[in-house]
Amino acid sequence: MTVRLPSSSRRAAVREPTLCPAAGVWAVAVLVLAVGLTWAAVAGVRLRLGEFASLAGAFFMLVAVGSVYAMSRRAVGIVVSCFAVAFLILFNIAAGILSYAGQWLAAPLQDDWFASFDAALGFDWNAHLAFVAHRPVLAQTLTWAYFSCPAQLFVLVCVLSVFDRSALVRFMALYATTALATICIASAFPALGAVAHHAPPAALLSSMPDPLSGSWHMADLIALRQGAFREISPHALEGIISFPSFHTALGVLFIHAFARAPRMLAPAILLNGAMILSTISVGGHYFADVIAGAVLAGVSIVAFQAWQTRALRLPRPESAPAPALRDALDPSAPRG
């Protein structure tokens, strides 16, 4: 006998995610923060606690607002977006500190290898920079695209928290795992970056919207490798990773996530295509960094989807139905 549950029961059976990302990803973020703080203590790096306190206040405010709405069982989109933004605050600080810890290990620099790889592909880094620098509109457009990550994260959270919360949960898991993989690879294969290696003429760099393009991280990176880095601020954490390019990986992840909102897909492809292109001239990356970032993102997406498929196929224990429901499902079953 087939029983059709009331529509309200069917809706209740399909539970919308309210904790974004999943609890396991939150646990990873806390662990990463613990590792980063342990490194700071061991390396003698002082934290600017006043600046960390302001972000901690924002974090706890978002968690409190999300918790209140969660308990009232209203406005699930607000709940998801509050937890998602809170997670991004926590994880980005934790991952930023961990990336500094990885470069503090001072593994051998790989700039010569990356530059040789580019040359083997026929890619002329200085020629590419000159092409962009001599076209002010292109240079400014790429600079805007390069710094669009925070805005894209905000828009993505707002859109998916309303239209596809499960996709937002998946994006957050991919974001965290890809970032951690990037940090681990960069710690083993560090590089100063293409600007430091190719040393383009100062006149060429001054033609860019920001003459320091691709070299903002140099002071912190060199100090870390020399054991001279002594103070860390959450507002001054630089992107000190060259290989693989996390901007490239994130661009691929953004396109993959915005595909769940079809009207946003075309703008996402255009913007993130520009962002990936900007990583060379604005971010100071080797072409090898870009390739590695795209491959890493692709592998992360495929691996995550394979894991999800396998998890869904695993048998799950079924609890015995309540007597009333059991009777409805099988009237011939013995009572007692």
> Cβ distance 18 to 84 under 8 Å?
no
Q: What is the pLDDT of residues 232-278, one digit of tens each?
A: 998 888 999 999 999 999 999 999 999 988 889 999 999 999 999 99
Largest CA distance in the chain: 90
Q: Is 252 helix (H, G, I), strand (E, B) or coil?
A: helix
Would you state the pLDDT for residue 316? 56
- DSSP string covering 112-162, please? HHHHHHHHHTT--HHHHHHHHHT-HHHHHHHHHHHTTHHHHHHHHHHHHHH
Other C-beta atoms closer than 10 Å to the C-beta of 88 total 21
Residues 6+ apart with CB under 8 A from 150: none
Would you state the pLDDT for residue 117? 97
Would you state the pLDDT for residue 13? 35
Backbone Cα Rg of the chain: 24
Which amino acid makes up residue 168? L
Determine the distance from the C-alpha atom of residue 5 to the mean position of all C-alpha atoms in its chain, rounded to a whole number: 40
Q: How far is CA 32 from CA 102, 269, 301, in A?
A: 12, 31, 21
Label residues 8-19 b or e (16+ Cβ within 10 Å = b). Answer: eeeeeeeeebbb
Other C-beta atoms closer than 10 Å to the C-beta of 266 total 10
In the chain, what percentage of residues exceed pLDDT 70? 87
How would residue 6 be classed by pLDDT, with cut points 50, 70 and 90? very low
Phi and psi at 250, nearest 5°, equal: -70, -35
Distance in angstroms (rounded) separating the CA atoms of residues 330 and 336: 14
- The H or E element that residue 231 is part of is strand 231-232
Q: What is the pLDDT of residues 197-241, one digit of tens each?
A: 999 999 899 999 998 888 989 999 999 999 999 999 988 889 999
Distance in angstroms (rounded) separating the CA atoms of residues 85 and 330: 47
> Cβ distance 173 to 28 under 8 Å?
no
Domain boundaries, the chain: 16-313
> Cβ distance 77 to 18 under 8 Å?
no
Determine the distance from the C-alpha atom of residue 183 to the mean position of all C-alpha atoms in its chain, rounded to a whole number: 11
pTM: 0.85
- The H or E element that residue 232 is part of is strand 231-232
